[in-house]
Amino acid sequence: MKIVILAILVVSTALLSGSIVNAHVVVMDKNSDTTLLVHVTPADDPIAGEKSNIYLDIKTREANSYLPSNLLLAIADESQAINIVPFKIFGTTITAEYTFPAQGLYTISLKSQGGIPMQPIELEYSLRVSRGIGSEPPEKNTWGSSLITVGFIGFAILAILAVNNRRELSRFSRY
């Protein structure tokens, strides 16, 4: 019996506890065998108006490939306004810092004209920024708080009735 209760407790704790999950997105180039692993901090859900780090890890089928020097990292917003973003290269990983100015849908694109030994690449990833500047405060959960209030009032009424009618209730109780 103790094992069942412990199992229920562990499962309910796992289901009810919230945790941040860091996700990475894989983007494939249609023209070459290049893939791009994208990660944007914090937790692939950037906050508008705050600095975010963008990590792009390029993978090719060639084991000893290196990144061409003519890469261009650009971020476009919904109005197609393009911002060229400076970046640093560490091996096959590109890192950049960018502050998304407002909420909306952004397209992160990495392009090159090719060169030895890589073919031209053109990788794009769409990212929705839904927090930060321009966000409205979350709606107050009025029905939930109303339900809790009604529950407490109902419990209080039952407690008052039980105290007032305790003599009548004791006649029905058997020990």
> pLDDT digit string (tens) for 57-67?
887 766 556 66
Residue among 66, 40, 59, 60 nearest 51 (CA): 40
Q: pTM for this one?
A: 0.59
User: Under CATH, which number does the domain 20-132 receive?
Assistant: 2.60.40.1930
Proportion of the chain in helix, strand, coil states, percent, rounded to 5:
25, 35, 40
CA separation for the pair 27, 67 (Å, rounded): 17
Q: Name 88's bridge partners.
A: 95
Rounded average pLDDT over 28-56: 80
* pLDDT given at position 147: 82
CB 107 within 8 A of CB 124: yes
CB 68 within 8 A of CB 62: no
CB 37 within 8 A of CB 24: yes
Question: Does pLDDT of 105 surpass 70?
Answer: yes
Lowest mean pLDDT, pick from 19-28, 92-101, 106-115, 157-166? 19-28
Residue among 134, 55, 49, 133 nearest 99 (CA): 49
Question: Does pLDDT of 22 surpass 70?
Answer: no
Domain boundaries, the chain: 20-132, 142-170
**pLDDT class for 119, splitting at 50, 70, 90?**
low
